[in-house]
Amino acid sequence: MREAHIERKTKETSIQVALNLDGTGRYRVTTGIGFLDHMLEQLSRHSLIDLEVAAKGDLHIDFHHTTEDTGIAIGEALSAALGSRQGIARYGSAIIPMDETCTRVSLDASNRPYLVWKVAFSRPKLGEMDTELFKEWFQAFAQAAGLTLHVENLYGENNHHIVESCFKGLARALRQAIEIDPRQGQSVPSTKGVLGGTL
C-alpha cells in the first residue's frame, strides 16, 4: 500500500495528514475553515485517495497560514507515498464542467514543481475565505508534491463553481497520474531513469 503520514508543526500551525493513494476516496478533514474542508473532501472523493487531515492554525489572524500549510503537508504526504514514482502513469488531465463553469487541469508528477494558475474570481471571499488563498493552496501543494500543475478556468461565473471545478479537476488528473501502469513494471517513467532535477 502506498501510504504516508506527515506531521507539520510551526509557530503558526499544527497539521497531521494521513493518506493512502490506493484507497476508495474516504476522508476525514478538519481544518477550522469550512470551505477548505469541503474542497479537500472533493479532492479525496474524486481522486480515490483516502485522506485524513487534522489542522489547527492561527485563524484568529486570518486563514492564510492554515491554508498554505495544509497544502504543504498534503503535498509532502503525496510525495512520500509516491516514493521513487516507479510504475506510475505520471501524466494526468481532466476537463471538469460544473453548471456554467468549465475548468481544465493538467499535471505531470515529474518531481519538478511548477504551477500555472489561470483562474480569476469576481468576488474577494467565498464564505469567510479569501479567494486569493486558493492559488496559495495550489502553489504550496504543487511545490511540496513535486507536480508540474496547470490549472485553467476556461469560463464560468459562479465563484463557488470555479473553485470546486479546480479541485475536482486536480483530483481526476491526480487519479490518472498516480495509477500504476502494469506495462511500466518497476521502471520510472523517464528516459533519465529518475524523476526530478533538470529536463
CATH number, domain of 148, equals 3.30.230.40
CB 14 within 8 A of CB 56: yes
Do the domain assignments include residue 68? yes
Task: State the pTM of this model.
Answer: 0.93
Per-residue pLDDT reduced to its tens digit, 7-59: 999 999 999 999 999 999 999 999 999 999 999 999 999 999 999 999 999 99
Give the separation between CA 95 and CA 145, rounded to whole angstroms: 21
Residue 101 is given by DSSP the state E
Arithmetic mean of pLDDT, 99-117: 97
pLDDT (0 to 100) of residue 188 = 64
Do the domain assignments include residue 142? yes
pLDDT (0 to 100) of residue 171 = 98
Instruction: Give the least confident one: 23-32, 67-76, 79-88, 97-106.
Output: 79-88
Nearest to residue 41, comparing CAs of 127, 164, 160, 137? 164
Do the domain assignments include residue 37? yes
Q: Residue 172 sits in which domain range?
A: 3-178
Do the domain assignments include residue 84? yes
Determine whether 42 is exposed, middle or buried from the number of CB atoms within 10 Å of its CB (0-12, 13-18, 19+): buried
Q: Which residues contact 130 (CB under 8 A, 6 or more apart)?
A: 62, 63, 64, 124
pLDDT (0 to 100) of residue 198 = 45
Do the domain assignments include residue 198? no
Do the domain assignments include residue 189? no
Do the domain assignments include residue 184? no
Residue matched to cell numbers 497520474 = 177
Do the domain assignments include residue 192? no
Task: Name the domain count of the chain.
Answer: 1
Give the separation between CA 88 and CA 107, rounded to whole angstroms: 13
Helix (H) or strand (E) holding 175: helix 159-178
DSSP β-ladder status, 129-130 and 148-155: unpaired
Determine whether 93 is exposed, middle or buried from the number of CB atoms within 10 Å of its CB (0-12, 13-18, 19+): middle
Residue 199 has pLDDT above 50, yes or no: no
Nearest to residue 72, comparing CAs of 7, 166, 149, 1? 7
CB 161 within 8 A of CB 126: no
